[in-house]
Structure 1
Amino acid sequence: MQQKKQRVAKKACDLVSQCIEKHAQVVGFELGGSYAKGTWLPEKADIDIFVKFNKKTSEKDFRNIGTKIGFQSLKKHKPYTRHAEHPFVEAVIDGTRVNIVPCYDVSRGEWQSATDRSIYHTKFMLQKLSNSLKGEVRILKKFFLHIDVYGAEIAKEGFSGYVSEVLISYFGSFEKTIKKISELKKGQVIGKSTKKFDSPVVIIDPVDNNRNLGTAISMDNLGKFVLASRAFLKKPSKKFFKKPISKRIMKNNDKIVVVQFR
């Protein structure tokens, strides 16, 4: 699996490298996401390539050229557009999703687009996470997957891969993380913040303390995480990582309507 991902990553990077030479606005590219950090799961192992634009590039060129590079790079693999704050291009190469994402080449804190932080996220986690902690991140991600709260898309409103990494970097292990979450208080701040946020839980982005990662997490999914954490601590089991547990928890607690924060 590791060798296959390496081959796909190299192939995608080579394709991007050939395309960006035609565009003076582009200053380079970097691998990002869970693959670059070494925290990926086999079933969720996307390859994210961030194409870096000169910070003086207009938003119009940023969007248009970024999309053009994505389609040119992945043209042999049936590329399609995905939408976030800015569009990016995705395709599947040998069974692996590859994302070509534009970002600005800016100094930390001088963000011009939502994706500008991503390269700094990768650098931070590569410095912060030992091989052991990367393993703890993967355990937490599996836990999230099987209680059906993994993913920060609007349709899911769950816990992203980056949030998984942040929680482990703050607390130090999977067990310490779920212990803290099991005792969570409403509006509790995880990390160091420079301002107040209004969300059920506040998780500060370690590369930008003005950003609350908890904003994307629904009360429903936070509640599932709290319940599952308490259930695991009460009776640890490998079952929590092998099959969905959210329905089982609710079946055993059918009188629960609202999660009580401690």
Structure 2
Amino acid sequence: MNSILNYAKKEATPSKKLQQKKQRVAKKACDLVSQCIEKHAQVVGFELGGSYAKGTWLPEKADIDIFVKFNKKTSEKDFRNIGTKIGFQSLKKHKPYTRHAEHPFVEAVIDGTRVNIVPCYDVSKGEWQSATDRSIYHTKFMSQKLSNSLKGEVRILKKFFLHIDVYGAEIAKEGFSGYVSEVLISYFGSFEKTIKKISELKKGQVIGKSTKKFDSPVVIIDPVDNNRNLGTAISMDNLGKFVLASRAFLKKPSKKFFKKPISKRIMKNNDKIVVVQFR
């Protein structure tokens, strides 16, 4: 198995050339944002976030996320409007467009890399005013928690998710986000230990610690906010695919689990057995 995991890690690690390219894009985007926020008194600063900032990004999945921090007394109207305005002003030379989550944010492509300008409130931990407020704390937590070795394990898990077609937290996907990948590795310690735990998963099992009760097929506690269940966003179907793929890999490890997504070739008749495979 070690040779296969070493292969997976190599495939999941960006080349030095690509890392240098992303560094240039990140610097360029940060410089653009820095120039724009000076005009707005409600903004207290900005920070890089997401997998790029944490060093867990994949060669084929490397967005640059910049979180613009607003004074916590800023009205929701100004938060939305000024946040969007900063995004468009910063990225005006790169054909920016609006995307929507709980609040709108602005995205554009710079030198082949997607750049997201996302507003958040500058609040103390636990005093969340918007869904994006936790993101900066996620970055800080994982930057401290993940060693270079563990970052490699996260990349292997993300590659695995990509292959079995369950990677992504978008509403349409209902899969495993990059942050969930990091959380699982931080809880279990390696890719191999993670899939061993998942292969034995029981319905409603809790991963992490919380005094709050949750009702979802799997409960994954956010280490930054133990009242938040990251498992809520994951569909039963995608969870089932992860369980089955974990069992299949452990039974017969292969490099094919880390190549292009071809989940149907690995797990034939998967949709017939996903729901009944929990122990």
CA–CA distance in structure 2, aligned partners of residues 53 and 253 of structure 1: 46
Q: Within 2, Cα distance between the matches of 1:138 and 1:163? A: 12
Note closer, same or farther for the CA distance 1:183–1:245 as it changes in structure 2 (3 Å cut). farther
Q: Percent identical across equivalent pairs?
A: 99
The alignment's TM-score, normalised by the length of structure 1, stands at: 0.98
Q: Which moved more, 1:248-257 or 1:221-230?
A: 248-257
Q: CA deviation at 1:151?
A: 0.1
Q: Equivalents in 2 of 1:250, 1:30: separation in Å?
A: 41
2:92 equivalent to 1:92: no
Match of 2:93 in 1: 76
What is the CA-CA distance between 1:49 and the residue it aligns to?
0.2
8 Å Cα contact 1:53/1:103 also seen in 2: yes
The answer on 1:138 being equivalent to 2:155 is: yes
TM-score (norm: length of structure 2):
0.92
1:245 offset after TM fit, Å? 4.0
More RCO (CA 8 Å, sep 6+): 2
- Deviations 1:220-259 (Å, cap 9, x if unpaired)? 0000000000000000111100132420233276863634
CA contact (8 A) 2:99 2:106 kept: yes
C-alpha distance in 1 between matches for 2:237 and 2:135: 27
Report the CA distance shift for 1:254/1:6 in structure 2 as closer, same or farther (over 3 A): closer
Q: Distance in 1 between matches of 2:106 and 2:57?
A: 20
| CA deviation vs aligned residue, 1:185-234 (integer Å, no higher than 9, x gap) | 00000001120000000000000000000000000000000000000000
TM-aligned CA distance change 1:196 to 1:18, over 3 Å:
same
Long gaps (5+) in structure 2: 1-17
Q: Over residues 34-84 of structure 1, what are the superposed CA-to-partner deviations in whole Å (9 max), with x where a residue is unaligned?
A: 000000001110000000000000000000000000000000000000000
Q: Does the 8 A contact of 2:237 with 2:271 survive in 1? A: no
What secondary structure, in the 3-state scheme, does the structure 2 residue paired with 1:255 have?
helix
Quote how far apart the aligned CAs of 1:167 are. 0.2
Alignment partner of 1:103: what SS?
A: strand
Q: Deviations over 1:149-188 (max 9, x none)?
A: 0000000000000000000000000000000000000000
Secondary structure of 1:210's match? Answer: strand
Distance 1:24 1:232, change over 3 A: same
Matched with 1:251 is: 268
SS of residue paired to 2:274: coil
1:227–1:259: 8 Å Cα contact kept in structure 2? no
Answering whether residue 202 of structure 2 is matched by residue 212 of structure 1, we say: no
Distance 1:254 1:15, change over 3 A: closer
Pairing 1:222–2:239 present: yes
* Residues 111-190 of structure 1 mapped to structure 2, 5 A cutoff: 111-190=128-207
Instruction: Decide whether the 8 Å contact of 1:250 with 1:256 is kept in 2.
Output: no
Q: Could you say if the C-alpha distance between residues 253 and 195 of structure 1 is closer, same or farther in structure 2, counting changes exceeding 3 Å?
A: closer
Q: Distance in 2 between matches of 1:254 and 1:13?
A: 44
Q: Partners in 2 of 1:41 and 1:106 — Cα distance?
A: 30
TM-fit CA distance, 1:260: 1.8
